[in-house]
Structure 1
Amino acid sequence: MNKVKVGIVGLGRLGIQHAENLAFRIPNCELKAICGLNKEQLAELSDKWNIPYTYTSYEEMLQNSELDAIFIASPSNFHCDQIQQALEAGYHVFSEKPLGLYLEEVEKIETIINRHQDKVFMLGFMRRYDDSYAYAKKQIEQGAIGEPVMVRCYGFDPTEGLESFLKFAQKNYSGGIFLDMAVHDFDLARWYLGAEAEQVWAIGGAYSVPAFTELNDAETGAALVKFSNGTMGLFAAGRNSRHGYHIETEIIGTKGSLRIGTVPEKNAVTIFNDAGALKECVSNFNERFAQAYLSEVEEFIHCIQTGSKPAITAKDGVQASLLGYACKESFETGELVHVKAYSSTK
């Protein structure tokens, strides 16, 4: 079976991890090209990883006839345009979340994706591929907690990343805390509850970094969501977690509940010293979801080689974005917002 030859655009924190997975850890895959703005980084990776092609122009990379697929790990505001360019150039496409930053472009790109049914398109909602989250889904399907009625999600980035994220947000790359961070939790809630969001009320503020107020964004935000089947979602997202990267999810059912990541433990080691009994916490998303980032791309490559389709579709990206936009609107206006109904573009 021939290897799938991939070119990646975007070599930031997550992009580097994806690139390394593509280069060394994904069976039947070959990282053939890398694209970024830092020429020194490109040269270093090309030499270190033996990658034959480097580009500072995405359009030039798309002209490489040796490639089969494009992996998009660039800032969120580039996703829709780069997805469209890659599909229209004849490539399979994997894009990191979110699908896009603006409602109009998200709906437009879904139409374009649906026109290219001969190509594999996959969106990076990697938590569905995390062993713990996947196990929880199976437990729900098997009736372990009865009917799920509420999902509670916490997503807090470590304090040490505040300054770098602020620079990211100032470039209008993120779309705000609900689209940039909570979109993962919105997707999980849809997945676990089997329903779509109808109403949302969101609040938040800038409590230690006032500059977020100037960006019309929240340092910490929360949202209460009503879903179409009457179930509920409680979401909290923040960028000032002193103890580390804290991702926690609880699914409450009629006969019990499931909790994932209640204590964001780094590993199974407990340190006993004069400070007491200590459990170290994971420090970032790369560390917590290393296995999931690997598994989702394995699925992408498998789909290309077998002609199958991934479970995560463009619709999932649109639905999560619709909820994210509604949260953003509610946060900005202080009003209860009805989530825009999804209209299939197929």
Structure 2
Amino acid sequence: MEKVNVGVIGLGRLGMVHADHLVSLISDANVLAVCALDQSQLDYAKENFGVNTYQNYKEMIDKEDIDAVVIVAPTGFHPEMTKYALDAGKHVFCEKPLGLDMQEVKEMAEHIKAHPDKVFQLGFMRRFDESYRHAKELVDNKQIGDIIYIRAYGIDPITGMESFTKFATDNDSGGIFVDMCIHDIDLIRWYTEMDPVQTWSLGNNIAAPQLKEIGEFETGVATLKFDNGMVATLIGGRHAAHGNQVEMEIMGSHGWIRIAQEPEKDFVTLFTDAGVVRPSMQSFSERFEQAFITELKDFISNVKANRQSDISVEDGVKALQIAKACKESAETGEIVNIVLD
């Protein structure tokens, strides 16, 4: 096929980013339709992207001559949407996490395996970020020796608290570990090629007491233990005053790697009587813009070549199981053994 006809499900902040990239920057993709519940989002997409619009994803899949769907709906809907699309003969790109209910996710995974002729790709976009990919090469080439410890931060700007609170009230986000730390869990598995066996996790709502009312932690900290003694620390939060803070440090026996120590927006430094100021990135979509584009290009390329993604559904299942173990530990205050199916 010359171009891959695509339908996008979900037009929230990331869904709109994906739709825009597919329309504007990915020449091998042809977006025919989008689906969302919010009429204002649909009106914007119709006017700016020139696509057909739907409020029912099944209707879009059944009526439109699409080859693939890009699912960016709330997490709880991912399993049913993926299964419906696959049964309709469509390739699927699905944002992380795979879902919220573990049984539904396991059934989803089996459904994906039952359609080996269809490409399924999970949105772990950090694997497509040049900095993280370079770090992977360094790790694989033993440039820092054996990994001893990994520290990972993922903290959203506090300016997004109101929007997140509304989202989490209307939709189950899965909690800080499932919603945010799952990216770092995936990277840790990718770098080490190992799975953790135990976690001790904690959470608090000091920066946002209102989240306690909806069962959310604002900040979550998890320690992961591995069979060989390696340790990793995950920190997820929504309270960064300066912008979007995403960083990782990999400590090896013969060297360290530090990725994105500071969320610098550009190469400009302002010197005034108020001090030295470096502008910061304000959103995850800004920090990972190129990675989002690259992963969608990879998905479209995989569909054209009928080639499965390097990111497997098993990667998504295991990352979710680990994230849920972290959540359980934070909620119970107990050390939790991690058992992966």
| Common fold by TM > 0.5 | yes
Are the aligned partners of 2:74 and 2:171 in contact in 1 as well (CA < 8 Å)? no
| Pairing 1:186-205 to 2, within 5 Å after superposition | 186-205=185-204
| Pairing 1:106-255 to 2, within 5 Å after superposition | 106-255=105-254
Shift of 1:173: 2.7
Counterpart amino acid of 2:34?
I
User: Residue in 2 aligned with 1:12?
Assistant: 12
Are the aligned partners of 1:149 and 1:193 in contact in 2 as well (CA < 8 Å)? no
| Pairing 1:270-281 to 2, within 5 Å after superposition | 270-281=269-280
| TM-score normalised according to structure 2 size | 0.98
- Distance (whole Å) between structure 2 residues aligned to residue 197 and residue 103 of structure 1: 18
- Distance (whole Å) between structure 2 residues aligned to residue 44 and residue 298 of structure 1: 24
- Distance (whole Å) between structure 1 residues aligned to residue 40 and residue 217 of structure 2: 35
Deviations 1:303-342 (A, max 9, x none): 1111211110100100100111101110110000011222
- Distance (whole Å) between structure 2 residues aligned to residue 228 and residue 283 of structure 1: 37
Are the aligned partners of 2:156 and 2:239 in contact in 1 as well (CA < 8 Å)? yes
| Pairing 1:287-306 to 2, within 5 Å after superposition | 287-306=286-305
Counterpart amino acid of 2:47?
D
Shift of 1:33: 0.5
RMSD between aligned alpha carbons? 1.1
- Distance (whole Å) between structure 2 residues aligned to residue 81 and residue 252 of structure 1: 40
Are the aligned partners of 1:195 and 1:229 in contact in 2 as well (CA < 8 Å)? no
What residue ranges of structure 1 are gaps of 5+ in the alignment?
none
- Distance (whole Å) between structure 2 residues aligned to residue 63 and residue 204 of structure 1: 44
User: Residue in 2 aligned with 1:37?
Assistant: 37
Shift of 1:275: 1.6
Are the aligned partners of 2:61 and 2:88 in contact in 1 as well (CA < 8 Å)? yes
Deviations 1:75-108 (A, max 9, x none): 1111111111111111000000001112111111
- Distance (whole Å) between structure 2 residues aligned to residue 147 and residue 209 of structure 1: 39
Counterpart amino acid of 1:151?
I
SS at match of 1:63: helix
Q: Which moved more, 1:215-224 or 1:246-255?
A: 215-224
- Distance (whole Å) between structure 1 residues aligned to residue 269 and residue 278 of structure 2: 5
Deviations 1:47-79 (A, max 9, x none): 32222x210111101103510000000111111
How many residues align structurally?
A: 341
SS at match of 2:98: coil
Shift of 1:148: 1.4
| Pairing 1:63-82 to 2, within 5 Å after superposition | 63-82=62-81
Are the aligned partners of 1:223 and 1:236 in contact in 2 as well (CA < 8 Å)? yes
Counterpart amino acid of 1:32?
L
- Distance (whole Å) between structure 2 residues aligned to residue 41 and residue 192 of structure 1: 38
User: Residue in 1 aligned with 2:50?
Assistant: 50
User: Residue in 1 aligned with 2:328?
Assistant: 329
Are the aligned partners of 2:199 and 2:336 in contact in 1 as well (CA < 8 Å)? yes
- Distance (whole Å) between structure 1 residues aligned to residue 240 and residue 64 of structure 2: 45
SS at match of 2:202: strand
Shift of 1:6: 0.2
Deviations 1:157-206 (A, max 9, x none): 00101111111111233010000000001001101111011100100111
